[in-house]
Amino acid sequence: MDGKAAVEAALFSSSENLKVQDIADRTGLDEAAVRHIIKDLRTEYDERDSAIMIAKIGSEYCMMLRPEYGEYTGKFAKAEMTPGMMRTLSTIAYNQPVLQSELFRTRGVRTYDDVHALAEMGFVHRKKSGQTMELTTTNRFSEYFGIGSTRVADIKKWIDKQAKNAQAEESGKDEPETDG
């Protein structure tokens, strides 16, 4: 067995972040070898300017798309969320922590179904707060969208950047094409 290929396959195929010990246990490699292989793989992906990276989230690792290539995923990947769910998720992410009752006033009746679905997908964490729920995004949210951080300030910056990019793209579409 090629240990490097086994570790790469584990990172590629896992839908969750992996601890070095988990990779070692499942591949039969020792932890030191797994750590060395992960370091090598991270260097390889970085040196060839790959759109894929191996990210360290806390003490765990995952294979993910580099944030700067995130704009291309929507053009090829099948949407898992409706546009309404995406708006609900972005509202939660931008205003977190946010009470579900406040979100209901902003987003309306659909809030409850959206929040339930987003929690089931692992993007939103719910915590009881009085008669309502306090909502925050999860690590999975940051990983899925390639934000590279779970800090609220970083998530806000990322959302602002996405909104500016979308506005620039929209304004560019409205301009008449010229033959220059």
79-112, pLDDT tens digit by residue? 577 888 888 998 999 999 999 999 988 888 888 8
- Of 22-26, 54-58, 89-93, 112-116, the least confident: 54-58
The rounded mean pLDDT for the chain is 85
The confidence score (pLDDT) of residue 130 equals: 92
Angle (CA) 158 112 97, round 5°:
40
14-28: average pLDDT: 90
| Residue 7 in this model has a pLDDT that exceeds 60 | yes
- Strands lying side by side in the sheet with 18-19: 18-19, 60-65, 52-57
**Among 134, 87, 127, CA closest to 108:** 87
- Does 13 have pLDDT greater than 50? yes
Judge if pTM exceeds 0.75: no
Query: Average pLDDT of 72-85?
Result: 70
Helix or strand holding residue 125 (H, E): strand 124-129
Contacts of 86 (CB under 8 A, 6+ apart): none
Question: Residue 79: its pLDDT value, please?
Answer: 54
Q: Is the pLDDT of residue 74 over 70?
A: no
pLDDT tens-digit map of 126-179? 999 999 999 999 988 888 888 878 888 988 888 888 878 777 777 765 444 444
Question: What structural domains and CATH numbers belong to the chain?
Answer: 3-65 (1.10.10.10), 70-173 (1.10.10.10)
Does pLDDT of 41 surpass 70?
Answer: yes
